[in-house]
Amino acid sequence: MSTSVKGKDETVVEMVENSLSNSDQMAKVAGYEFMEAEKQMTIWQAAKAHKRILFYCTVPYLCGMTYGYDVIANGATLAMPSFLLYFGAVNSDGNLFIPSIWTSLWVAMTNLGQAFGSFAGGPLAHRFGRRYIIMAFAIVSIIGVALQFTATTRGVLLGGKIINGFAVGGLLAVGTTYASEVAPLRLRAPIQQGLVFCSVVMQGVGLGVIRAFVTRMDPAAFRIVFGLQWVVGSLPLLAFFVPESPTWLLSRGRTDDARASLNRLYNMNNIEQRLDALQTTLTAETLGEKAGSFVECFRGTNLKRTATVSLLFFGSGGLIGASFLSQNIYFLLTVGLEAVHSFDIGIGGFFLACVAIAIGWIFTDVIGRRRLWLVGVSGNAVAMAVIGALSFDSSRGGLWAIAVLMNVLISFQIYTCVSTSWTMAPELSSYRLRQHTQSLGYIIQALSSWLFQFVVPYMYNIDSGNLGAKTGFVFAGTSVLLFSISWFVIPETAGLTVEDIEAISIGL
């Protein structure tokens, strides 16, 4: 009798397991068919179908805007005469300048703060969710800006920059992760490029604000520039009103909340199929393991993903010379171009960058991520070599040529290298480790920026290396190195599903 009961129980268990297996298989097939249908949509069809998601992506866009304005407020204020009078020094010729050590510290330590913010953003967002951590970093930004606004010494100003850098790094890491997790397949690249676009727009706005006050000599001129960071930095608090990432909710076992979040994002549009597809991917990635960690990013195929993402961010953050170009206004001031003209050229350059990014929304998938990256890196090597060569022309025309080329190159870098790295990084990250991989990527970017931002002023500044525009030769060389490595490492991800990218990641 007991044997019969046992056999009956085993049969029931087997039937239940088979039923669950068949159910999982059906969900997997439904999710696959659904994703294939999404893949066939055009960008315009996807944008029309997912208007709500584009609206909710306003929050990560605000994170990008905070980053963009901070870049300008942190770097371009160094060229304001009022700032030079208040925090600068006078050389033997009677000219105002910022000592190399403080130029390096103010710019580079901000990047170090961003690295720590990116590192903290990973585990915090994994534990508490994307929305609340975005709001927390916004509050930290408000505190950092307060220190900058009230600073009367170089040290206090440095402290404010580090704290605000910490907040900006966290906002960028978590904001881009949120955007990548809610983005439909066909809108992945446009949404990530939209984040870059908002960052560039705010850099242009920041330059416009500084240009408006550049002729004033009182401290209020640069303090107004710092104070406007309160407005920009507080905007991510609007994250309170957006739905939480369904990917994060599912990873925490909150299926009903994930369904409700998908409902808000997609407005009852194939919610169950989307939930099945997402659950299938997460289940396949988890394979019975515990929640992901930073350590796991360096194991197996995840190591290859992490290394590729790191190369993208280290390249766009340091090797292509973005640190040199980001200081172009102060640099041009040191080589003899008036501050007003430097700002005017800079504003035009950022307008050109916005146009380039908008064009990229349409053509990035057509051109391909890999090809765009390689074209960007190789073109950057040529342009940097030309900037270095122009240093031998001491005429006024040569100086203007350097100024124009540097700002055109900023636009070119943003369109080809920066946009591509921001798009590919979340694509190459697994769902389960996405926040950790993204955080590691931004840590690498921030650390590379910190390194180069610290070193570059010693290359070109008049009180140290005094290379001037010859600094371009250095980054022509590093760009050639980056191209050589990228040729063998960077894959193509345009139009691929998560499963497709999982397959190619094995061969990265």
Task: Please check the confidence at residue 18 and state whether its pLDDT lies above 70.
Answer: no
Highest mean pLDDT out of 266-270, 272-276, 413-417: 413-417
72 vs 397: CA distance, rounded Å: 26
**Tell me, what DSSP letter sits at residue 97?**
E
Task: Please check the confidence at residue 29 and state whether its pLDDT lies above 60.
Answer: no
Q: What is the maximum alpha-carbon separation in the chain?
A: 106
pLDDT one-digit tens code per residue, 334-383 = 777 777 787 788 788 778 878 877 777 667 777 888 899 999 999 999 99
- Counting every residue, how long is the chain? 508
Range of the domain at 424: 49-285+296-505
Q: Say if CB 479 and CB 417 are below 8 A apart.
A: no
pLDDT score for 234: 93
Task: Please check the confidence at residue 22 and state whether its pLDDT lies above 70.
Answer: no
Domain with residue 201: its CATH number is 1.20.1250.20
**Cβ burial 303-312 (10 Å sphere, 16+ → b, else e):** ebbbebbbbb
Contacts for 35 with CB less than 8 Å, ≥ 6 apart: 185, 277, 497, 499
Question: Is residue 256 situated within a structural domain?
Answer: yes
pLDDT score for 20: 39
pTM: 0.72
248 vs 292: CA distance, rounded Å: 12
Tokens in use for 317? 């953050």
Per mean pLDDT, which range of 127-131, 309-313, 357-361, 366-370 is the poorest?
A: 357-361
Per mean pLDDT, which range of 106-115, 300-309, 428-437, 483-492 is the poorest?
A: 428-437
pLDDT band at 267; cut points 50, 70, 90: confident
Task: Please check the confidence at residue 125 and state whether its pLDDT lies above 60.
Answer: yes
What average pLDDT does this structure show over 205-214? 88
What average pLDDT does this structure show over 153-173? 93
Highest mean pLDDT out of 90-94, 348-352, 500-504: 348-352
Q: What is the number of domains present in the chain?
A: 1
Residue 145 is which amino acid? V
pLDDT score for 281: 67
457 vs 103: CA distance, rounded Å: 7
pLDDT band at 508; cut points 50, 70, 90: low
Q: Say if CB 109 and CB 168 are below 8 A apart.
A: no
Question: Is residue 18 situated within a structural domain?
Answer: no
Share of the chain above pLDDT 70, in %: 84
Question: Is residue 10 situated within a structural domain?
Answer: no
Tokens in use for 70? 């901070």
What average pLDDT does this structure show over 289-296? 62
Q: Say if CB 381 and CB 412 are below 8 A apart.
A: no
- Other beta carbons within 10 angstroms of residue 277's beta carbon come to 23
pLDDT score for 505: 63
pLDDT one-digit tens code per residue, 455-468 = 888 888 777 777 88
Question: Is residue 8 situated within a structural domain?
Answer: no
> Residue written as tokens 């600073």?
151
Question: Is residue 407 situated within a structural domain?
Answer: yes
Q: What is the CA radius of gyration of the chain?
A: 25
**Tell me, what DSSP letter sits at residue 243?**
P
- CA 463 from centre of chain: 33
What average pLDDT does this structure show over 126-153? 94
pLDDT score for 222: 92
In angstroms, the Cα distances linking 119 to 70, 116, 371, 436 are 19, 5, 30, 8
What average pLDDT does this structure show over 162-184? 90
Task: Please check the confidence at residue 137 and state whether its pLDDT lies above 90.
Answer: yes
pLDDT one-digit tens code per residue, 214-224 = 888 999 999 99
Question: Is residue 311 situated within a structural domain?
Answer: yes
Q: Say if CB 192 and CB 183 are below 8 A apart.
A: yes
Tokens in use for 193? 């490029």
Highest mean pLDDT out of 9-18, 153-162, 172-181, 204-213: 153-162
**Tell me, what DSSP letter sits at residue 244?**
P
Question: Is residue 438 situated within a structural domain?
Answer: yes
pLDDT score for 66: 94
187 vs 453: CA distance, rounded Å: 33
Question: Is residue 34 situated within a structural domain?
Answer: no
What average pLDDT does this structure show over 15-34? 50
Task: Please check the confidence at residue 17 and state whether its pLDDT lies above 50.
Answer: no
Task: Please check the confidence at residue 239 and state whether its pLDDT lies above 90.
Answer: yes
352 vs 56: CA distance, rounded Å: 27
